Structure 1
Amino acid sequence: MKYFKEAKNIWKSYVPSSGQSDTVEGELLRAVEKLRYEAHNNGNGNWDEGFEMFCDYLLETLASDKAFSVEVQGELVDNINRLLNYDHPYLEDDLYDRIADRIVEWSIYYKGPVKRVKNPNQYR
């Protein structure tokens, strides 16, 4: 992971011990780490709409954003679509780390933190 320290700082500063983050980068990082945990620790056995919502949030926020080149946007789409294949959990760290690095890059681009409205439908 290229931006481990920066991701750790976002986590410590903007991801609450439970519930959603008040910032976009905090919620993005929370999403990717929830997806990582579910795959690694549960084999996606608890996969439901909440995890799909995390993937949708990552796609909507990152995959077509002007902060990234078309090539990087395509990589993000491929990576997130791989996570959506929940019947075959992705168990390596590289993909999750790549997405986390892009979250840090997004935060740097937008000179975060960027405030967000919590999604009342996200229960994970």
Structure 2
Amino acid sequence: MNFLRKRKPYDWKREQQRLWEDLVPDSGQAESLQGELLRIACKLTDQAYRNGNMNWDDEHEIMWRFISEKIGSDVIFTQKEQCLIKEKVEEIIRDQECPDLSGDGSPYYLITEKVVDWCMAYPKLIPHDENSDLMR
């Protein structure tokens, strides 16, 4: 999997923190697509690591699929990366009762890293229309 991790001029974990502070509201959905993708990836990753997805419901799957739909075919990623993003989102959904919590090698970290990469590639904020079906 590491062969698909490109060298970057930034540390994705530092950028994740910076982007979170700049783009993710204290509660509710983000106004920008960048903020919403980051909010979803970070909050659901935290939930997997903190409580093993004990609160998993249909909204989790909707949110993970939203990430896959928005970044999984984007031209900033190679075809292999696009396939990996889609594959890892499906793995997260499939294995929700027994999540891979192996840290840097986990699908959660990989997807979060790819969300950060996407946000870095699109610094001009893209408006996000709130999904009224989501309570999280």
Alignment TM-score > 0.5, same fold:
yes
Task: Please give the per-residue CA displacement for 1:18-67, whole angstroms capped at 9, x wherever unaligned.
Answer: 11111111111111112212212222111101111111111110111122
Q: What does residue range 16-35 of structure 1 map to in structure 2 within 5 Å?
A: 16-35=25-44
Structure 1 runs (4+) greater than 6 angstroms displaced: none
Instruction: Provide the residue aligned with 1:96 in structure 2.
Output: 108
Q: What does residue range 6-85 of structure 1 map to in structure 2 within 5 Å?
A: 6-85=15-94
Contact 1:2 1:101 in 2 (8 A): no
Contact 1:82 1:90 in 2 (8 A): no
Structure 2 length normalisation: TM-score? 0.82
Letter in 2 for 1:21: A
Instruction: Provide the residue aligned with 1:123 in structure 2.
Output: 135
Matched, 1:106 2:118: yes
SS at match of 2:30: coil
Unaligned 5+ segments in structure 2 are: 1-9
| Number of equivalent positions | 124
Structure 1 length normalisation: TM-score? 0.89
CA distance in 2, matches of 1:14, 1:121: 21
CA distance in 2, matches of 1:108, 1:40: 25
CA distance in 1, matches of 2:100, 2:32: 27
SS at match of 2:44: helix
Letter in 2 for 1:61: K
Unaligned 5+ segments in structure 1 are: none
CA distance in 2, matches of 1:14, 1:107: 10
State the identity %. Answer: 30
CA distance in 1, matches of 2:16, 2:63: 18
Which stretch has the larger CA shift, 10-19 or 96-105?
96-105
Letter in 1 for 2:132: P
What's the RMSD between the two structures over aligned residues? 1.7
